[in-house]
């Protein structure tokens, strides 16, 4: 319960803007791919997973959603599942849904 309250407060205190979507996704995919590669060949490896909490609106870096989706697809060599959690009044649910497929 304390963690939920802390996370909720963090999100409420977060200012709008500064969303570097492709940067966060690239970092997550690199780490997930390293983890997948590390466990390759093991009999019961953990499944790397990305949980992406975002409004889905890039304000820094790449803005084109098609380019972002293409880069994610290209970088996701181990087919790491990406679960998107949208937040914010203006969240782009359609883009985040595409990202998670």
CB of 82 within 8 A of CB of 98?
no
Instruction: Give the residue-averaged pLDDT of 75-79.
Output: 91
User: What is the number of H-type helices and E-type strands within the chain?
Assistant: 4, 2
Q: How far apart are CA 58 and CA 50, in angstroms?
A: 18
> Strand, coil or helix: what is 93?
helix
Pick from 62, 48, 59: which is nearest to 90 by CA? 59
pTM over 0.85: no
Question: Mean pLDDT of all residues in the chain?
Answer: 87
């Amino acid at each position: 319960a304390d963690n939920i309250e802390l996370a909720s407060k963090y999100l409420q205190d977060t200012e709008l803007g500064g969303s570097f979507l492709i940067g966060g996704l690239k970092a997550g995919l690199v780490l997930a791919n390293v983890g997948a590669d590390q466990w390759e060949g093991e009999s019961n490896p953990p499944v790397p997973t990305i949980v992406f909490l975002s409004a889905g609106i890039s304000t820094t870096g790449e803005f084109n959603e098609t380019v972002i989706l293409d880069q994610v697809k290209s970088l996701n060599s181990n087919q790491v599942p990406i679960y998107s959690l949208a937040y914010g009044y203006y969240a782009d649910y359609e883009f985040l849904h595409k990202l998670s497929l």
